[in-house]
Every structure is written in C-alpha cells, then in structure tokens.
Amino acid sequence: MDIFYPDYYPRFRCIADACPDSCCHGWAVTVDEDSARYYRTLPGELGDILRSHLIEEDGETILSLTADGRCPMWAQDGLCRLQCEHGEQALCQVCKEFPRLRHDYGSFAELGLELSCPEAAKLILSAENQAFLCKSVAGGDEPDYDTDAMTILLRSREQVLDFLTEQTLSVGEALAVVLLYGYAVQSELDGGDRAVLSPEDMLKTARSLARAGSAAEVLEFYRDLEILTPQWSAMLAAPKGSAWREAHRAMARYMIARYWLQAVSDYDLIGRAKLTVLSCLVVKLLGGNILRTAQLYSKEIENDADNIDAILDGAYTSPALADIRLLELLLQ
C-alpha cells in the first residue's frame, strides 16, 4: 500500500510548553469510546477530574473545558497531566494523533498536518510547493471508492496545484482560476466531457463574471458560525485586512491537498473549491499576523465539523458567497 505525505511532514515536532496556542486551549476534544471507557475507570484525583469533565453530546463523548477555556488535563508548565502520569497510551485518539491527519482510501492513504497547530502552520505556510513523497508499506485493501471519480480527482488535483504554483498568476488570480476550474472538473465528475482550459482563459472568464463582492457580508456569514474563542470573535469584529501574500497561496495548496479528493465521497467538488478560496480570502480580509490568523481560522473552522458543513451548504445557498461576488473580492 502506498502512503503519500507532504515533504514537510517528517519535520514536524511538537514544542509542547513553548507552544503559543496549545491544542489544549479552547478545544473540547471528542473522546473515542475505548478512551472514554478507560477514563471512567481511572482511579485517583486525575480520574475524578476527567469524569467531572466528560459529557455526552449528540451520541459522542466530549472532554469539556475548564472555566478558563483549557483542557482539564493541562498543567501550568503546559504539559499534559494525563500523559505525564500515565504515558502516551493514556491519551485519546485525537490527542495521540493531533496535528497529524490520515485519509485512508483503502488502496492508498494520505498523511498531512493540521494548520490549526502553530508549529505545523509554520511548515505549511512556508512550503514552496505541495510535493508529495511516498512510502510503500505492507497491507492495504481493495479501493473503497469510485475509481473513475478518483482518477479524475487525482489528475485534476495535480493540475490545480500547478495552477496555484504558477508564478505568472497573482495569488488572487490563481484562486479565481481554482474556483472556475472546480466547476469544470465538477462537470466531468457529473459525466460531462473533460474540459482542457488554460489559466489565461479561465482568468478572462473570471474577470467578466466578477461583480458586487462584499467583504462585510462574507465576514457576517462567519460571525454566524460557531465560535470557539474570544480571540476569533475579536478578529471577526475588527478585521485589519492585508494584501495577498505567498503564504495565502501556500494555504490554498494545503486546502486543495486536504479536501479535493474528499469529493469522491459525495461528488461535491464545487463545495471544496469554494471552501478553499473562501478560507484564503477570509484570512486575507482579517489580516494581522498571517501565521496566527490562518492557524486560528483552522482551529475555529476546520476543527469544527458543523462549521465546515455550514460553509459547504453556504457555498450554494448564501448570497454573500455567490461565485460572482467572491470572484470580485479575489480579483480586487
């Protein structure tokens, strides 16, 4: 079985107590069943604290936060009390893996890092391309996906990553091309012919379509989503704005790498293309330190399945997120 991963993946190291926004802050983790069972029987003071913070919500077990918004296992030195006292095997699945991602497609798998971790964000946003390395391991299953759709998605992802890396296009132009190309590939996924489009032609079309974009309405849409931290609320309330930067381009490559192939599960590629351009646009509109803004964006949006679903729905239903309006904001 082949496992693909970005070239920066092996360089990630958790900096634990030196982390400026620890994953143990502001994030109520969903606990897997085995860990929840273990926590309910853990003796001593640590077990009592854990039990008092385990809550059931929509059929899932959540480790709720303390009054100051931290994980109840977080210690003053920034380390995890559970890990210190009971070893790494005591951690629930999410904490063991974070910020490492794995998408398993049966016959192959892809690894990645989450932008919501500040150390991972440094690697992701400074990457000059999205080069995948590959290692082969024993095992693997039959493909558990539509192989025709996956062929289209793999080929088109490579192409869209090339468009994004194309230095003749500004970042905003490249994102406009990503959006239009998403429509072309969607049509192919839906049974249409393969369209061979040049970035120049797509850009011309994008310019002719673009009109009436409203940054205020896009941010209003985000204010109506679930909000985790007061820092995010404050950022949305007082956007600073910024110019397009190469780090926005790198963020787009990360999102394409992470979400493009997921359209194999529901054939909604347009939603993923819009999620990509919209995410980069919102990080630009908010401005500030791009590393911090993008990392917090990811923590608030990518780590909250309800928020991702709301954006995938809003891509089709929200007037603020209409294509022609987004195109204008991208090309300003």
Binding site for ligand SF4 (CB under 6 A): 14-16, 19, 22-23, 98-99, 117-119
- In the bound state with ligand SF4, the residue whose beta carbon lies nearer, of 163 and 254, is 254
- In the bound state with ligand SF4, the residue whose beta carbon lies nearer, of 17 and 33, is 17
The CA distance from 158 to 162, in Å, is: 6
Residue with tokens 């059929």: 59
The CA distance from 285 to 297, in Å, is: 12
Give start and end residues of each alpha helix (H) in the chain: 33-41, 44-53, 81-86, 93-97, 118-126, 147-165, 171-189, 199-209, 215-223, 230-237, 246-259, 263-266, 269-286, 290-297, 305-317, 323-331
Question: Which pair of tokens denotes residue 249?
Answer: 């381009």
Least CB distance to ligand SF4 at residue 115 (A): 11
- In the bound state with ligand SF4, the residue whose beta carbon lies nearer, of 119 and 300, is 119
The CA distance from 140 to 5, in Å, is: 16
Least CB distance to ligand SF4 at residue 249 (A): 23
Least CB distance to ligand SF4 at residue 171 (A): 26
Residue with tokens 């309330």: 237
Least CB distance to ligand SF4 at residue 18 (A): 8
- In the bound state with ligand SF4, the residue whose beta carbon lies nearer, of 22 and 156, is 22
- In the bound state with ligand SF4, the residue whose beta carbon lies nearer, of 247 and 296, is 296
The CA distance from 136 to 49, in Å, is: 43
* Residue 110 C-beta-side C-alpha neighbours within 13 Å: 18
The CA distance from 286 to 236, in Å, is: 7
- In the bound state with ligand SF4, the residue whose beta carbon lies nearer, of 24 and 175, is 24
- In the bound state with ligand SF4, the residue whose beta carbon lies nearer, of 35 and 295, is 295
- In the bound state with ligand SF4, the residue whose beta carbon lies nearer, of 95 and 177, is 95
Least CB distance to ligand SF4 at residue 296 (A): 12
- In the bound state with ligand SF4, the residue whose beta carbon lies nearer, of 82 and 263, is 82
36 Cβ neighbours under 8 A, 6+ residues apart: 54, 61, 92
- Local structure of 288: helix, strand or coil: coil
* Residue pair 45/81 in contact by the 8 Å Cβ criterion: no
Least CB distance to ligand SF4 at residue 223 (A): 25
- Local structure of 30: helix, strand or coil: strand
The CA distance from 279 to 296, in Å, is: 12
Least CB distance to ligand SF4 at residue 6 (A): 16
Q: How many residues in total does the chain contain?
A: 332
The CA distance from 148 to 213, in Å, is: 36
Least CB distance to ligand SF4 at residue 114 (A): 8
Least CB distance to ligand SF4 at residue 73 (A): 12
